């Protein structure tokens, strides 16, 4: 999957499920289930035990699934993620060396940033998109909307505290996508292997994004 195709898929779907679970088996279940629900994108955080093996397994077994490495804080981890087959890398904060490394390797990267200064630094370093994190703690959708005024050319992802009640606000504020964790992949649903629960939530969020975008087009 090319870099352009990965970025296009992220912007098309508009949802980046973040998998933060307690085992590799849980991670595989969560990723496969959310994909079955219509969201063929998944971010495997490095806090998941055996995260690199999960990335490798998903990338090999599901060629249409966009698999990324999350919480990538250094170049060494970035290299391991790419070696495992990750299609994108992301982090909760701005690590310029990771951005530059990933760009050099022709892979999609969207670092976390919170302030206008960090957003500019991320963009100048070559980020494909910039993840505003934690968005909910700094004004939510209102903050994203304020950022889009000086940065209309920078595609922003809203992440951190996004739920069914706020996802629409972020999209209408100008975010190209939202990053969603437990609100999409509840720990209880994973523990009980309740795939229907996760698929239903995936459908709800997809509908929210679609309807929100249609309002922007009016």
Q: Whole-angstrom Cα distance, residue 42 to residue 35?
A: 8
Q: Out of 124, 131, 145, 200, which one is annotated catalytic?
A: 131
- What letter does residue 20 receive in the DSSP assignment? -
Task: Let me know if 207 is a catalytic residue.
Answer: no
Q: Which long-range contacts (CB under 8 A, 24 or more apart) does 180-187 make?
A: 180/15, 180/16, 180/17, 180/18, 180/205, 181/17, 181/18, 181/19, 181/20, 182/20, 184/15, 184/17, 184/34, 184/39, 185/17, 185/18, 185/19, 185/21, 185/30, 185/33, 185/34, 187/21
* 100 noted as active-site residue: no
Which residue among 3, 11, 12, 43 is the active-site one?
Answer: 43
Catalytic residues: 43, 131
């Amino acid at each position: 999957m090319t870099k352009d195709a990965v970025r296009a898929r992220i912007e098309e779907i508009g949802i980046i499920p973040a998998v933060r679970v307690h085992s590799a088996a849980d991670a595989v279940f969560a990723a496969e289930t959310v994909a079955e629900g219509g969201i063929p994108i998944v971010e495997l955080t490095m806090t998941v035990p055996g995260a690199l093996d999960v990335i490798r397994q998903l990338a090999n077994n599901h060629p249409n699934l966009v698999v990324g490495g999350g919480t990538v804080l250094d170049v060494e981890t970035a290299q391991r993620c790419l070696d495992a087959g990750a299609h994108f890398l992301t982090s909760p904060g701005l690590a310029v060396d990771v951005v530059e490394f990933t760009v050099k390797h022709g892979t999609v990267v969207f670092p976390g940033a919170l302030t206008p200064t960090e957003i500019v630094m991320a963009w100048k370093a070559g980020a494909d998109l910039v993840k505003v994190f934690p968005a909910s703690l700094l004004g939510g959708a209102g903050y994203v909307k304020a950022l889009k005024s000086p940065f209309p050319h920078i595609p922003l992802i809203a992440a951190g505290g996004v739920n069914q009640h706020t996802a629409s606000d972020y999209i209408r504020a100008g975010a190209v996508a939202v990053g969603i964790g437990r609100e999409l992949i509840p720990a209880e649903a994973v523990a009980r292997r309740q795939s229907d629960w996760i698929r239903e939530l995936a459908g709800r969020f997809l509908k929210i994004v679609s309807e929100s975008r249609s309002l922007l087009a009016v």
